[in-house]
């Protein structure tokens, strides 16, 4: 890192349960943080590349092909950024040229790449901390190194990392080398199960990261494995149907169950592993013992408009909504409510980050 460079805060949005709006939340939160004046990088670490599709909005095969052909030449995807390490090329990892997100100044994309999954097995072997690590010593720190350098190159404040729903080596690496984690969830039985599972997975990953960072062979590698400093910011509950401004009863039941699983299983386990911030820091930012940062309802018909205009639902203009009469009024009311929710979410996240003292984030 250059002497005068600002520290970059990395926040992983992770849950190994699928269908909890990780990608949508990454996009929307990143957009809102950029609107608040931060310089934000969205990292698409999911081989399905849904975040890349959401940001770029390519609908034709030719558009997608042209983008990736160009990226292969300029090093513009998450995979191309770490090729020197994984392919043992005689050149160092350089900052990846990021893609500016249309219509939102200060927001950038590190594009996804289906082929990043090809490195899963090799990274897994390198992360076994075995005697064979010498030959693979540059791999465990390479993803974090590349993301940091790419973000620093544009003087970013915040990196948001969207990941696939899985427990593979790439997710383990990205979560363990992040500064913070946010856990999106949905009001259902499987999200309750996920909180129980994460209460075991995240401490185990943190223990592995501590061991990895202490190994001289990794600490002194060309791309050093960083000392872990992961902390939980909180959870987000999404994708419920509201009634009279509140979650419908069937959804409220599962919201309560998820909160209880966080209180009784996830939080104690993370606390014991040193993965929680001081209790007073959460309390001072209005985060209760269920660690819920926000409850965000289904976007319903607004999602189609969001996808059409490559814009979060809360940023849609009246013209983009394009309805008339009561339909337009209802849509604008919903849009404004979502805007307030994401404004509060973004502010809360950055207040926690700033108060934790982990980084000097620009206000």
**pLDDT at position 357, please?**
76
Cα–Cα distance for residue pair 229/144, rounded to 1 Å: 13
Answer yes or no: is 195 within a domain. yes
What's the rounded mean pLDDT across residues 51-76? 70
**pLDDT at position 214, please?**
93
Average pLDDT, the chain: 89
pLDDT band at 37 (very low <50, low <70, confident <90, very high): very high
Answer yes or no: is 268 within a domain. yes
pLDDT band at 134 (very low <50, low <70, confident <90, very high): confident
pLDDT band at 297 (very low <50, low <70, confident <90, very high): confident
pLDDT higher than threshold 50 for residue 360: no
pLDDT band at 298 (very low <50, low <70, confident <90, very high): confident
**pLDDT at position 18, please?**
85
In tens, the pLDDT along 232-284 reads 999 999 865 666 566 667 778 888 999 999 999 999 999 999 999 999 999 99
Specify the DSSP class assigned to residue 314: G
pLDDT higher than threshold 80 for residue 125: yes
What's the rounded mean pLDDT across residues 61-68? 68
The residues facing 160 across adjacent strands are 11, 42
Specify the number of domains making up the chain: 1
Answer yes or no: is 110 within a domain. yes
Answer yes or no: is 2 within a domain. no
- Three-state SS letters, 141-178: CHHHHHHHHHHHHCCCCEEEEECCCCCCHHHHHHHHCC
Q: Which is higher by pLDDT, 101 or 6? A: 101
Q: Give the whole-number percent of the chain exceeding pLDDT 70.
A: 89
pLDDT band at 61 (very low <50, low <70, confident <90, very high): low
CATH number at residue 93: 3.40.50.300
Query: What 3-state class would DSSP assign to 302?
Result: helix
Provide the domain limits for residue 352: 9-356
Apex 292 CA angle, 291 and 293, nearest 5? 110
Residues 6+ apart with CB under 8 A from 10: 144, 147, 148, 159, 161, 177, 178, 179, 180
**pLDDT at position 51, please?**
93
**pLDDT at position 3, please?**
44
In tens, the pLDDT along 169-218 reads 999 999 999 999 999 998 889 999 999 999 999 999 999 999 999 999 99
Q: What is the number of residues in the chain? A: 363
Answer yes or no: is 3 within a domain. no
pLDDT higher than threshold 60 for residue 2: no
**pLDDT at position 1, please?**
47
pLDDT higher than threshold 80 for residue 60: no
Q: Give the whole-number percent of the chain exceeding pLDDT 90.
A: 71
Q: Are 184 and 238 in contact (CB under 8 A)?
A: yes
Answer yes or no: is 23 within a domain. yes
**pLDDT at position 62, please?**
64
pLDDT band at 76 (very low <50, low <70, confident <90, very high): confident
Answer yes or no: is 363 within a domain. no
Strands (E), 96-251: 99-100, 107-110, 158-162, 180-185, 231-238, 242-243, 246-247
In tens, the pLDDT along 311-337 reads 999 999 999 999 899 999 999 999 999
Answer yes or no: is 96 within a domain. yes
């Amino acid at each position: 890192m250059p002497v005068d460079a600002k520290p970059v805060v990395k926040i992983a949005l992770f849950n190994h349960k699928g269908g909890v709006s990780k990608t949508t939340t990454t996009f929307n939160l990143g957009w809102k943080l950029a609107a608040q004046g931060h310089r934000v990088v969205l990292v698409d670490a999911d081989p399905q590349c849904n975040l890349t599709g959401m940001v770029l909005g390519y609908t034709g095969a030719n558009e997608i092909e042209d983008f990736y052909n160009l990226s292969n030449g300029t090093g513009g995807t998450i995979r191309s950024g770490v090729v020197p390490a994984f392919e043992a090329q005689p050149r160092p990892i350089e900052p990846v040229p990021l893609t500016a997100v249309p219509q939102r100044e200060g927001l950038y994309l590190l594009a996804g790449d289906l082929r990043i999954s090809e490195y899963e097995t090799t990274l897994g072997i390198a992360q076994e901390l075995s005697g064979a690590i010498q030959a693979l010593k540059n791999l465990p720190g390479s993803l974090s190194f590349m993301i940091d350098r790419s973000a620093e190159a544009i003087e970013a404040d915040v990196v948001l990392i969207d990941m696939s729903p899985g427990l593979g080596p790439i997710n383990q690496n990205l979560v363990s080398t992040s500064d913070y984690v946010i856990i999106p969830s949905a009001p259902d039985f499987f999200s309750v199960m996920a909180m129980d599972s994460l209460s075991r997975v995240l401490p185990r990953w943190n223990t592995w990261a501590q061991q990895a960072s202490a190994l001289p062979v990794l600490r002194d590698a060309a791309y050093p494995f960083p000392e872990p400093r992961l902390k939980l910011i909180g959870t987000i509950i999404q994708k419920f149907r509201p009634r009279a401004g509140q979650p419908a009863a069937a959804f409220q039941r599962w919201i309560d169950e998820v909160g209880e699983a966080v209180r009784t299983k996830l939080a104690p386990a993370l606390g014991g592993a040193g993965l929680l911030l001081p209790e007073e820091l959460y309390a001072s930012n209005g985060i209760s013992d269920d660690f819920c940062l926000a409850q965000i309802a289904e976007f319903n018909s607004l999602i189609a408009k969001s996808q059409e205009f490559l814009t979060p639902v809360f940023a849609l203009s009246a013209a983009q909504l394009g309805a008339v009469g009561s339909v337009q009024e209802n849509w604008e009311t919903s849009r404004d409510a979502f805007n307030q929710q994401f404004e509060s979410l973004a502010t809360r996240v950055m207040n926690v980050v700033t108060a934790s003292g982990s980084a000097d984030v620009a206000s």
